[in-house]
Amino acid sequence: MNIALLGYGKMGKIIEKIATDRKHEIVLKIDFYNQQDLTVENLKKADVVIEFSTPGSVLDNIQKCFDAGVPIVVGTTGWYEHLPELKKKCLDGGHTMLYASNFSVGVNIFFHVNKVLAKLMNNYPYYDVQVEEIHHMQKLDSPSGTAITIAEGIIENTDSKKEWVNILTSEGDETNDENIKNDQLLIESFRIDSVPGTHTVIYDSEVDSIEFKHTAHNRNGFALGAVLAAEWVHSKKGFFSVEEMFDFGI
């Protein structure tokens, strides 16, 4: 395929290498310094677009891809309050879009098992649950989109939690969770230099604790998943989340 990359930072460069290793061609690379090249005409040269930019630019990028009639795979997070309107715009216009808070195969397995575990733990209400996430200092949104997806999977399958709340904690600081209500699910976010991403679900009781954790060693898993998503979606029409391309069979 011919692929356009919107966002050519660390992630974009890894996506480029994986895509070219899989015999695809990168026909357009957009970063902060060549925004003038992000035109409908240039986007039409691509079979599919992979978007890893910033929360401030992602909506305009999606619209340009719709205008160009090119399928887009969106990895940027921090904009999900606009999902309903974008889904309507995508479907009404006959466009193609796939989004994910995380494209990693391992993380998507984690998402699935997290829901199964939450449903099981719902039978044991004396365990309280919270989510912790650790990312690098350059992470622009808090909590991470991955942490939100984990939290929503717990809330959907747990009677005691109605909403999530976030506390961003600097390294070395103590968490101030005194104002967290019993029906709120705490997502505690840490920002530490050079950490690709660690997410932990903690079930805690007076007698023991259960921890369920995913640790990314590097960004390669996210990038490979994004390329796999582009391969999966480029010939389809519609609005998709990444879980639709996974079939765990259970």
Q: Cite the active site residues.
A: 135, 139
Q: Dig out the tokens for 56 from the structure.
A: 């401030």
C-alpha–C-alpha distance, residues 129 and 185, integer Å:
7
Sheet holding 198-204, edge to edge: 163-170, 184-191, 128-135, 198-204, 209-215
Neighbours of 108 (CB within 10 A): 20
Among all chains, which residue has been given the structure tokens 């365990």?
127
Q: Dig out the tokens for 172 from the structure.
A: 């070395």
Closest by CA position to 113, among listed 248, 219, 220, 223:
248
**Distance of alpha carbon 238 from its chain centroid, rounded?**
19
Using CA atoms, how far residue 210 sits from 40, 101, 206, in Å, is 50, 24, 12
